[in-house]
Amino acid sequence: MKNTKLRVASGIEVTRHQKESISSLLRRFNQTVRSSGLLAVSRKNQYKTKEPNRRARRESALVRAADRKRYQKMRKMGRIEKK
């Protein structure tokens, strides 16, 4: 029997017992990962995006203001009908 270990980068480690099958080792490892809450946290943060910085917020506001002005001008000229 080899001294088999399953390990995750976060420090979760499961060592194989004597006469333990690989499937039961995997089951024990999965239970350990599940109970640690690591998987839930990583899934929660999977699509998390960074909040835009001050400069990006200002640029976005300027673009929105320019779009609003262009839209009002087109509406005034009759190219866009009122809702």
pLDDT tens per residue, range 10-28: 788 888 999 999 999 999 9
Tokens of 29: 């490892």
DSSP collapsed to 3 states, 26-61: HHHHHHHHHHHCHHHHHHHCCCCCCCCCHHHHHHHH
pTM assigned to the model: 0.51
The per-residue pLDDT for range 36-47, each reduced to its tens digit, is 988 888 899 999
How many angstroms separate the CA atoms of 4 and 29, rounded? 12
Q: Which helix (H) or strand (E) holds 15?
A: strand 13-15
The per-residue pLDDT for range 53-83, each reduced to its tens digit, is 999 999 999 999 999 999 999 999 988 887 6
How many angstroms separate the CA atoms of 51 and 57, rounded? 9
**Does 25 or 3 have the greater pLDDT score?**
25
Structure confidence at residue 71 (pLDDT) = 95
